[in-house]
Amino acid sequence: MPLEGVHIDDTLQFMEEPVEIMKREIKRLKRSQIPLVKVRLNSRRGPEFTWEREDSFKKKYPHLFTNRT
């Protein structure tokens, strides 16, 4: 595993960090819509993917949204 992509916190534990946004989707419910983003995470076991709410994810990781058009 290349070490330049590995980040360790103060307690010497591996930190899974989001790398990029892969896809955007809108979940439609009866009376509302929820914007979602598919995120690729930097994981020990290799790349992992997860769906997150766009609004809360944008607050935590705004740098991933700066290059979006």
The pLDDT assigned to 54 comes to: 94
> Residue 51, class by beta-carbon neighbours within 10 Å (0-12 exposed, 13-18 middle, 19+ buried)?
middle
Enter the tokens of residue 2.
């290349």
Compare 66 and 57 and report the one with higher pLDDT. Answer: 57
- Picking from 19, 11, 16, 24, the residue whose alpha carbon sits closest to that of residue 51 is 24
Domain boundaries, the chain: 3-65
Q: What region does 12 belong to: left with phi over 0, alpha with psi -120 to 50, or beta?
A: left
Q: What is the pLDDT of residues 21-58, one digit of tens each?
A: 999 999 999 999 999 999 998 877 778 899 999 999 99
Q: Are 17 and 4 in contact (CB under 8 A)?
A: no
- Which pTM value belongs to this model? 0.65
